[in-house]
Structure 1
């Protein structure tokens, strides 16, 4: 199936494409399809924002469209940055400034109180107007300084509780590696987006057949 990925985030697109292509689908980004529309994310939840993006880009592309809205929720900050993760610093998509603000907000918070989770809502929207949304979460903690270069966003500051295994399954993240220090196969098995996408893959055929 040819699917439009409703994102302008290169790191997110790479991850979505890697997961969907492994499932046998072909992925074109909205940029590759010549769509410059950037829907305003006015939702108060990840699921609401994912639906807003998926619907708008599906209508513009005429293709089945996948949109993801995701972010980091930190317990000590009352769930912030949450749906504002991409624009936490006041500018959209400035990863370095977002990370700097997160570290500043957590200054003085001791290691045992820096629990956090990444949350992803993945919405798959069809041109006929039907859609389905799945949620995925990855628990972990925020560390005190950036580590790793494999990720994007808050990945260099987030240590997940578990990592994936090449042969399948997961194990405890005993080395304390960040999202940005994991290999793709280690991250996809435990990541918030990977979990949401796995649910979509598991249920996609049944959803399509409903129509």
Structure 2
């Protein structure tokens, strides 16, 4: 009983340190792990070019070098009461801003919204190596349907297809959205989802691309 009373009691500060030590260690480890991921958390995908190639309306290739004034009559004669696919290839350059470390992207989901037609979407399922100053050139298949109906209803969609072929670019007011897959770089991997938000790019009057928020 006497010995117990003679033993020094732990100080208030020492007891507090014992309680806080595990949390401090966890915070330190979290900070150390976060350091190599900083570049990935600041991930910014740059769409460096966006063009349109190989436009077709059903069996007809829409060649911008040729007279396409009769494409409406051809489309109407082929439609009947059914539908006719419009197909094109979206040529896209992807890169990273200057100073970003190389990143391996495990594919991506994309959605293209053009005036006058329903949005089209797809999945690019191949890995893409992204490096600053060396763009990756990709090809995305785009398709939407012309539905049977009168000439007034069909005309804007045929005109859109002709414009895609004639100008070789998306019309103003279009928007491209890209949701990256998982990202690998700097020795870490970020899974798709929370850390790879959807990136949106609006097409301006002269074909320029403007990143959008949200």
* Greater fraction of residues in strand: 2
Select the structure with the greater relative contact order (CA < 8 A; seq sep ≥ 6): 2
Question: Rg: which structure is higher?
Answer: 2
Task: Give the TM-score normalised by the residue count of structure 2.
Answer: 0.28
